[in-house]
Amino acid sequence: MFERQQTGSVVCPGCGRLVGVQDERCWNCGRARPSLFGFSRLLQRIGNEAAFSTVVIGLCVVIFVIELAMAPGGIGTRSLFGFLSPDFEVGIRLGASGAPIVFELGRWWTILSAGWLHGSLLHIGFNMYWVYQLGPAMARLYGTGRAAIIYLVSSALGFLVTSALPIFTPWLPLTHRGVTLGASAAVFGWLGALLCYSRRTGSRMFLRQVLGMAIPLVLFGLLIPGIDNWAHLGGLAGGYGMARLYRPDKPETPSEVLVAIVLLAVSVLAVPFSFLSWH
């Protein structure tokens, strides 16, 4: 399954024509290394078969358990919203983000790591529910690789926005000035991508379905104290903008699946890097 193809033909990711595995350029569109060094079919198989939402849920649950295990004496159990909340310092060491962390401590990579961390059992349960609900739809509409790219980029943009606003535009309302973490920025990124899809296709029914999910989530964020609304809005804008780069009627390419794998690896590795770099 994981062997490199060395003979035969593959489909060029650029134009869809058959080319030789050893061809340095596609004879039709001129794309360099159209076989991706013989791994083209493998990347397509991964992109078609892998359930990215399952990967996200699994990683978030494992990291959450690690958060709890690192400081069992600091686990919170006194309230519904804070039930099984990891120790505050553990979250910071593993890569929580926010203005004081990114700009005062210079830990810029936390805009990547923060999306894998959660602050309580209810927090991770709520976010993973929406990852589970939206992931299959995103994979069907955009492809697994593109769905992963949108998720990861939206998450990073959401945390970048919420970290930068207290520094550059402190007068804006609802600015989150403390530590922030969670997968909700990425979830809003997926909602932004679905909104973009509904506008491209002109489907009012699909638009109503997406708004029926997005509006309650926005209202929930406005009504519940401590919710990082600017991370949500940054993720929403990021997902919408990323989705505009992809044509829904054009299938994803092995190159896009490869980009998704690299982004996933870099994002996940930001968590242990954050821990190892803490002084």
CA distances from residue 41 to 1, 127, 136, 206, 238 in whole angstroms, order as listed: 10, 33, 22, 33, 30
Whether 94 contacts 117, CB under 8 Å: yes
Quick check: is 184 catalytic?
yes
Q: Is 126 left (phi over 0), alpha (psi -120 to 50) or beta?
A: alpha
Provide the 10 A C-beta neighbour count for residue 269.
13
Q: Looking at 35, 113, 163, 184, which residue is catalytic? A: 184
| DSSP code for 10 | E
Whether 63 contacts 116, CB under 8 Å: yes
| DSSP code for 19 | E
Q: Looking at 97, 155, 232, 274, which residue is catalytic? A: 232
Quick check: is 155 catalytic?
no
Q: How far is it, in rounded angstroms, from Cα 227 to Cα 187?
A: 14
**Burial bucket for residue 173 (CB in 10 Å: 0-12, 13-18, 19+):** exposed
The helix-helix angle for 144-168 and 229-243 (nearest 10°) equals 140
Q: How far is it, in rounded angstroms, from Cα 142 to Cα 239?
A: 12
**Burial bucket for residue 171 (CB in 10 Å: 0-12, 13-18, 19+):** exposed
Question: Mapped to the 3 state alphabet, what secondary structure does 204-233 carry?
Answer: HHHHHHHHHHHHHHHHHHHHCCCCCHHHHH
Active site residues: 184, 232
